[in-house]
A and B are shown apart, each in its own frame.
Chain A
């Protein structure tokens, strides 16, 4: 872990994107499904997975979208990014979704569908 933005302990299946995510306008705030057909996660649901993506982009209002998908029980269990940005950081803080950043090498080694767990208290990530 490079940085711990929002602490917590999680275990879940990875949904990975190679593209940044603009939460405002790309993610349906009721269902947590990616609605942008140009995105590599198009039609995928963010519900109850560990979302791994490079970083957030776009308007800071996107933080409210993260809060909304959490309120609608359609949010990821945790998020893992390469780079921090304030929209995802504050969105995860609002919604209490654990958020960490990792190195580029670690990011490349994570594959879609793998099981991952981490606990920010012990600063450890486990892959299976």
Chain B
């Protein structure tokens, strides 16, 4: 990698230990991903927030560096492990809560906006086309590259943090490449959000850095997010380009058979004991739509609904929150289905969800069964 004089001196430690460590991370990441230089970024979005995933080592590290580290650009944050407003209802132990609050405190001390959301693209203004950002959350990186005309690597928790501290990020292939060698042809008719989640999951498995995708109809926000979430879960691929691509591209069909394979991999239960909605978290449009679908109906079992705090506040003002609670929903902000410590196999055998991303982590991390259904079917089967 070619560094400027200024960057070289920071790497040698002439601007302090924190800058030195951040540059070491960016150089190691850049060398590992064949970047030739660093580029300035305007926005970083960090993962590595949930105590359930980063553990004591992460908590100690963040607590240590927060004494001196400050972010240099706008920096937002992924979900944490719980919603402080109702954590007492979920039986989490004291240690988890205090370690999670310490992590929260460390990030706030460093100047990070405590957004606790995996959908930064929906709750913050999108900068102008072509803006370089550094997003660690996989569904957000894919959304940024594919729908928002932004440019980001699929950052790790560490490269995103280092990018936030330095204000630069490695110029790796995702920031440059617009010419994937694989085209996936969507062949499934009448797709719903579950179909798009499975398409994304399939694409993430076959694609390397980016893929072309053809045969898509117009998609709503729920479907778009499902596709980004599915893709981010299954591989390293972090960009969709819409269209057939070059004629020499390898063409791969996503048909009923391929969809069934993904379904068989992730759908492991006939029915769920509880329902979760939101992985990625639900935005205001989805909350509005859900409220409409639940008019005059109530869930017959627990239904956890995950959304960012800002969306919860807006929903409360408009009256959606009250309506959802009337229908039996548990509203949770600041956290997400994905890697949630609030769902354990001691109390739940299986979960019904419409999220492929959620299904993957519920199965592999929480160790519970998963029953996959699109939202319309969930409402039909589980409410009266």
Task: List residues 47-84 of chain A with CB under 8 A from any CB of chain B.
Answer: 60-61, 63-65, 67-68, 71, 84
- Residue A94 lies at the interface, judged by CB distance under 8 Å to chain B: yes
- Residue B310 lies at the interface, judged by CB distance under 8 Å to chain A: no
- Residue A5 lies at the interface, judged by CB distance under 8 Å to chain B: yes
Q: How far is the CA of A90 from the CA of B25 in the complex (A)?
A: 6
Asked whether B29 lies within 8 Å of A65 as measured between CB atoms, the reply is: no
On chain A, the residues within 8 Å of B33 by CB distance are: 86
B residues apposed to A, CB below 8 Å: 21, 24-25, 27-29, 31-33, 48, 53-55, 57-58, 60-61, 156-159
Decide yes or no: A96 and B57 within 8 Å by CB, A86-B32, A90-B159 being known contacts: no
- Return A16 CB to nearest CB of chain B, in Å: 22
- Residue A13 lies at the interface, judged by CB distance under 8 Å to chain B: no
Q: Whose C-beta in chain B lies nearest to the C-beta of A29?
A: B57
On chain B, the residues within 8 Å of A104 by CB distance are: none
Q: How far is the CA of A60 from the CA of B137 in the complex (A)?
A: 13
Decide yes or no: A68 and B57 within 8 Å by CB, A3-B31, A63-B158, A90-B158 being known contacts: yes
- Residue A6 lies at the interface, judged by CB distance under 8 Å to chain B: yes
- Return B173 CB to nearest CB of chain A, in Å: 14
- Residue A92 lies at the interface, judged by CB distance under 8 Å to chain B: yes
Q: Whose C-beta in chain A lies nearest to the C-beta of B236?
A: A86
Asked whether B28 lies within 8 Å of A90 as measured between CB atoms, the reply is: yes
Asked whether A94 lies within 8 Å of B21 as measured between CB atoms, the reply is: yes
- Return A75 CB to nearest CB of chain B, in Å: 13
On chain B, the residues within 8 Å of A46 by CB distance are: none
A contact residues, total (Cβ < 8 Å): 24
Asked whether A64 lies within 8 Å of B31 as measured between CB atoms, the reply is: no
Asked whether B61 lies within 8 Å of A64 as measured between CB atoms, the reply is: yes
On chain A, the residues within 8 Å of B158 by CB distance are: 60, 63, 90, 93-94
Tell me the dominant secondary structure on chain B's binding face: helix
Tell me the dominant secondary structure on chain A's binding face: helix
Interface contacts beyond A64-B54, A71-B60, A86-B32: sample of 8 additional A-B pairs, CB < 8 Å, sorted by A: A3-B32, A5-B27, A60-B156, A61-B48, A61-B54, A61-B57, A90-B25, A93-B21
Q: How far is the CA of A66 from the CA of B156 in the complex (A)?
A: 15
- Residue A89 lies at the interface, judged by CB distance under 8 Å to chain B: yes
Decide yes or no: A86 and B27 within 8 Å by CB, A64-B55, A94-B21 being known contacts: no
Asked whether A96 lies within 8 Å of B31 as measured between CB atoms, the reply is: no
- Residue A85 lies at the interface, judged by CB distance under 8 Å to chain B: yes
Asked whether B25 lies within 8 Å of A67 as measured between CB atoms, the reply is: no
Top 10 closest A-B pairs, CB basis? A64-B57, A93-B28, A90-B158, A93-B24, A89-B28, A84-B32, A93-B25, A5-B28, A68-B57, A89-B32
Q: How far is the CA of A86 from the CA of B377 in the complex (A)?
A: 40
Asked whether A96 lies within 8 Å of B21 as measured between CB atoms, the reply is: yes
Task: List residues 3-22 of chain A with CB under 8 A from any CB of chain B.
Answer: 3-6
- Return B197 CB to nearest CB of chain A, in Å: 22
Q: How far is the CA of A4 from the CA of B58 in the complex (A)?
A: 26
- Residue A33 lies at the interface, judged by CB distance under 8 Å to chain B: no
Other-chain contact of A68, B29, B48, B60 (Cβ < 8 Å): B60
- Residue A34 lies at the interface, judged by CB distance under 8 Å to chain B: no
Task: List residues 88-110 of chain A with CB under 8 A from any CB of chain B.
Answer: 89-90, 92-94, 96, 99
On chain A, the residues within 8 Å of B156 by CB distance are: 60, 63, 86-87, 90
Decide yes or no: A60 and B27 within 8 Å by CB, A5-B32, A67-B61, A96-B21 being known contacts: no
- Return A99 CB to nearest CB of chain B, in Å: 7
On chain B, the residues within 8 Å of A3 by CB distance are: 31-32
- Return A91 CB to nearest CB of chain B, in Å: 8
Q: How far is the CA of A99 from the CA of B33 in the complex (A)?
A: 15
Q: How far is the CA of A99 from the CA of B28 in the complex (A)?
A: 9
Q: How far is the CA of A67 from the CA of B156 in the complex (A)?
A: 15
Asked whether B29 lies within 8 Å of A86 as measured between CB atoms, the reply is: yes
Decide yes or no: A92 and B55 within 8 Å by CB, A63-B158, A86-B156 being known contacts: no
Q: Whose C-beta in chain A lies nearest to the C-beta of B17?
A: A96
On chain B, the residues within 8 Å of A84 by CB distance are: 31-32
Q: How far is the CA of A61 from the CA of B61 in the complex (A)?
A: 12
Q: How far is the CA of A73 from the CA of B158 in the complex (A)?
A: 22
Asked whether A61 lies within 8 Å of B55 as measured between CB atoms, the reply is: yes
- Return A9 CB to nearest CB of chain B, in Å: 14
Q: How far is the CA of A77 from the CA of B29 in the complex (A)?
A: 20
On chain A, the residues within 8 Å of B21 by CB distance are: 93-94, 96
- Return B297 CB to nearest CB of chain A, in Å: 40
